[in-house]
């Protein structure tokens, strides 16, 4: 009886640690593959697979940009990449502090792999228990996840040479999606991994950010000359992938400024600036009103 119970327990633990997201990498260029999440809110069906994560082939190994919502996600992604080319991971980069992008960190840190992020993690990353993901995704998918900060943090733009790749890490000059958003530019293949400064398929969220800083960041990064732009959410990777984000926030800012000049209150502005043609994008209902409210609070002080 005791032996049967022990075997059952071991099988349960193995099952918890072996959750497979069945991720499929998509080729962006010959040296960049990405995993594209669903345009949804995290839940126990998608288990946090709502975010984009990329692998850069540097010849001698991979550079991973964002590790996803859990240990199991990071493990599933790496296992999928090894089927394309069996390379070690040389470096992990966290683009910003939102946990859907970095809760897979401990899959890599447990192997002694460097994880690099901005120093915004020191002040603003939430490593408390339970995390947002632990609350919303299944225990099986979250198993073995331990909120783990980057092992190295930077505060300014940095250029790294890893294998046959040069990586230009650029930090937005002003608060945008978060207080410090970092992008990764590859001059060799003209790929910009823009993370959550670029959304498509679903509406972006600026509730904890700044609409002016976000639009400025998009303008700044246009000068890099990228031909392929990978956002943090959405499957477009062409040169025009930031178009929806830029047009959405530009129009919103214009309409909010007009409402403020007209003397409208924040509630009146939320009602007026409905921008209903954006209802065709996922998460409009849960995101747009909050975007208008947050942006009004920024723009009323101009």
Q: Where are the domains of the chain?
A: 23-240
What mean pLDDT do residues 4-29 have? 65
**Percent of the chain beyond pLDDT 90?**
91
Q: What's the pLDDT tens digit per position in 146-160?
A: 999 999 999 999 999
Which has the closest alpha carbon to 48: 126, 114, 140?
Answer: 140
**Does the pLDDT value for residue 15 go beyond 80?**
no
Q: What's the pLDDT tens digit per position in 233-276?
A: 999 999 999 999 999 999 999 999 999 999 999 999 999 999 99
Q: How confident is the model at residue 60 (pLDDT cuts 50, 70, 90)?
A: very high
pLDDT at 129: 77
pLDDT at 127: 82
Which has the closest alpha carbon to 116: 192, 196, 182?
Answer: 182
CA distance 223 to 217: 10
CA distance 149 to 109: 9
Cα pseudo-dihedral 230, 232, 235, 236, rounded to 10: -40
Least confidently predicted of 116-125, 180-189, 279-288: 116-125
pLDDT at 130: 87
Q: Is the CB of residue 139 less than 8 Å from the CB of residue 148?
A: no
CATH 3.60.15.10: does it fit domain 23-240?
yes
pLDDT at 296: 98
* Arithmetic mean of pLDDT over the chain: 94
**Does the pLDDT value for residue 219 go beyond 90?**
yes
pLDDT at 126: 73
Least confidently predicted of 3-17, 116-130, 186-200: 3-17
pLDDT at 254: 98
- Give the relative orientation of helices 211-222 and 284-299 as an angle to the nearest 10 degrees: 100
What's the half-sphere exposure (Cβ side, CA atoms, 13 Å) at 25? Answer: 25
pLDDT at 2: 42
CA distance 177 to 96: 9
Q: How confident is the model at residue 300 (pLDDT cuts 50, 70, 90)?
A: very high
């Amino acid at each position: 009886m005791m032996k049967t119970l022990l075997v059952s327990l071991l099988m349960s633990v193995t099952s918890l640690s072996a959750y497979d997201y069945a991720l499929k990498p998509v080729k962006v260029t010959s040296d960049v593959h990405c995993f594209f999440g669903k345009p949804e809110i995290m839940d126990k069906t998608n288990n946090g697979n709502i975010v984009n994560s990329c692998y850069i082939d540097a010849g001698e190994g991979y550079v991973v940009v964002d590790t996803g919502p859990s240990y199991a996600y990071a493990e599933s992604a790496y296992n999928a990449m090894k089927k394309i080319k069996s390379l070690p991971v040389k470096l992990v980069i966290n683009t910003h502090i939102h946990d859907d992008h970095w809760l897979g960190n401990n899959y890599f840190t447990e192997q002694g792999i460097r994880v690099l992020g901005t120093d915004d993690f020191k002040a603003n990353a939430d490593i408390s228990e339970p995390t947002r993901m632990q609350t919303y995704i299944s225990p099986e998918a979250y198993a073995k996840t331990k909120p783990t900060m980057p092992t190295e943090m930077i505060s300014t733009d940095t250029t790294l040479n890893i294998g046959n790749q040069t990586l230009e890490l650029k930090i937005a000059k002003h608060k945008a999606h978060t207080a410090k958003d970092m992008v990764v530019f590859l001059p060799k293949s003209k790929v910009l991994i823009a993370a959550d400064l670029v959304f498509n398929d679903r509406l972006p969220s600026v509730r904890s950010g700044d609409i002016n800083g976000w639009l400025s960041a998009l303008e700044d990064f246009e000068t890099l000359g990228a031909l392929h732009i990978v956002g943090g959410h959405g499957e477009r990777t062409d040169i025009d992938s930031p178009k929806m984000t830029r047009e959405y926030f530009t129009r919103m800012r214009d309409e909010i400024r007009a409402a403020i000049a007209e003397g409208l209150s924040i509630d009146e502005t939320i009602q007026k600036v409905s921008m209903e043609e954006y209802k065709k994008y996922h998460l409009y209902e849960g995101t747009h009103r909050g975007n208008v409210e947050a942006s009004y609070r920024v723009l009323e002080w101009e």
